């Protein structure tokens, strides 16, 4: 059995490709999204109880290998997976889509985390398009002089910025629609998620010459890494 961690597009495609090759796959989702897109094959939802709990699950289910295909900012499960793999001697692969890179015409400002991004905003504009997800919005809640257009998949909990408008939507997004939203704001805030699902906002920002605050990815434990699903499939089949 192969355990795939994460509900990303790459995780779903990997589950589909491995199942088509008659490899038994169990996909584990964190359960933070109300209506997740379910992958092909067996699915479990919820945590394992830390690295020790995950290690016990790997042993009990005779898992041959683990693929961490979680979101680039899912720090905790990444650390837990690395520790559990070490405790059990289970091969671990990190499937990580490449991050975004600025191109000609982009006006990007790199931030170390959401708190760092919040510090930059007063100098960049009064109206902010916030697309960093519903977790971590508290980092912007104190900015009473700014207005936020906040986009999330599911409704966020408090605290939220005092002046805001909320959009509930799921990607992929079209450049034309993103251009219209960006026309209402001065600056865009995003995490360096990578991939094409949500990159249209970057194209629109470039066209409109809007500044973009990009939050850097957090560090991950060292492990074997694949950048694409075919690379991950090849890694699994070798085992």
Residue 67: inside a domain: yes
Say whether both 59 and 123 belong to one domain: no
86 assigned to some structural domain: yes
Q: 163 and 86 share a domain? A: no
The residue segments making up the domain with residue 33 are 2-98+219-237
pTM over 0.85: yes
Question: Mean pLDDT throughout 32-57?
Answer: 89
- Check: CB of residue 92 under 8 Å from CB of residue 68: yes
Q: What is the mean pLDDT of residues 184-194?
A: 97
pLDDT at 239: 81
Cα–Cα distance between 19 and 237 in angstroms, integer?
12
Same domain, residue pair 115 and 196:
yes
Number of separate helices (H) and strands (E) present in the chain: 7, 12
Residues 199 and 192: their CA atoms lie apart, in Å, by: 10
DSSP result, 69-121: ---TT-HHHHHHHHHHHHHHT--EEEE-PPPP---TT--EEEESSHHHHHHHG
Same domain, 69 and 129: no
In terms of domains, do 138 and 191 share one? yes
Say if residue 172 is preceded by a cis peptide, omega within 30 of 0: yes
Q: How many independent structural domains does the chain possess?
A: 2
Domain membership of residue 183 (yes or no) is yes
Q: 226 and 196: one domain?
A: no
Looking at the structure, tell me whether residues 12 and 80 fall in a common domain. yes
Q: Mark whether 207 and 229 lie in a shared domain.
A: no
Does residue 79 have a pLDDT over 70? yes
Is the same domain home to 231 and 199?
A: no
The CATH number of the domain holding residue 226 is: 3.40.50.720
**Structural domain includes residue 72:** yes
pLDDT greater than 90 at residue 33: no
**Residue 27 belongs to a domain:** yes
Same domain (yes/no): 120, 208: yes
Is 103 inside any structural domain? no
Region 214-222: what's the mean pLDDT? 94
Q: Please compute the mean of the pLDDT values over residues 72-97 and round it to a whole number.
A: 96
Residue 159 has pLDDT above 70, yes or no: yes
Q: How confident is the model at residue 141 (pLDDT cuts 50, 70, 90)?
A: very high
Strand intervals (E) in the chain = 2-5, 25-29, 42-45, 65-68, 92-95, 108-111, 127-130, 147-152, 164-168, 187-191, 212-215, 224-226
Q: Say yes or no: 75 and 164 in one domain.
A: no
Domain membership flag for residue 228: yes
Least confident of 32-41, 122-131, 209-218: 32-41
Q: pLDDT averaged over the chain?
A: 95
- pLDDT given for residue 207 in this prediction: 97
What pLDDT sits at residue 34?
64
| Residue 158: inside a domain | yes
Confidence (pLDDT) at 31: 72
Same domain for 114 and 50: no
CATH of the domain at 146: 3.40.50.1220
């Amino acid at each position: 059995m192969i355990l795939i961690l994460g509900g990303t597009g790459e995780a779903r495609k990997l589950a589909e490709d491995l199942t088509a090759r008659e490899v038994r796959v169990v996909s584990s989702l964190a359960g933070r999204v109300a209506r997740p897109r379910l992958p092909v094959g067996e699915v479990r939802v919820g945590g394992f109880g830390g690295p020790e709990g995950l290690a016990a699950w790997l042993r009990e289910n005779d898992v041959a290998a683990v693929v961490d295909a979680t979101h680039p900012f899912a720090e905790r499960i990444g650390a837990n997976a690395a520790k559990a793999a070490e405790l059990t001697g289970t091969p671990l692969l990190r499937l990580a889509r490449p991050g975004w890179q600025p191109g000609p015409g982009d006006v990007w400002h790199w931030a170390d985390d959401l708190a760092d991004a919040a510090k930059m905003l007063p100098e960049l504009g009064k109206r902010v398009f916030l697309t960093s997800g519903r977790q971590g919005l508290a980092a912007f809640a104190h900015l009473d002089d700014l207005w936020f257009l906040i986009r999330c998949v599911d409704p966020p909990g408090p605290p939220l910025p005092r002046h805001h408008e909320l959009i509930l939507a799921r990607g992929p997004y079209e450049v034309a629609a993103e251009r219209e939203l960006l026309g209402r704001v001065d600056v865009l805030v995003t995490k360096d998620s990578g991939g094409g699902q949500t990159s249209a906002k970057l194209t629109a920002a470039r066209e409109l010459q809007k500044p973009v605050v990009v939050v850097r990815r957090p560090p991950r434990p060292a492990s074997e890494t694949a950048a694409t699903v075919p690379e991950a499939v090849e890694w699994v089949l070798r085992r």
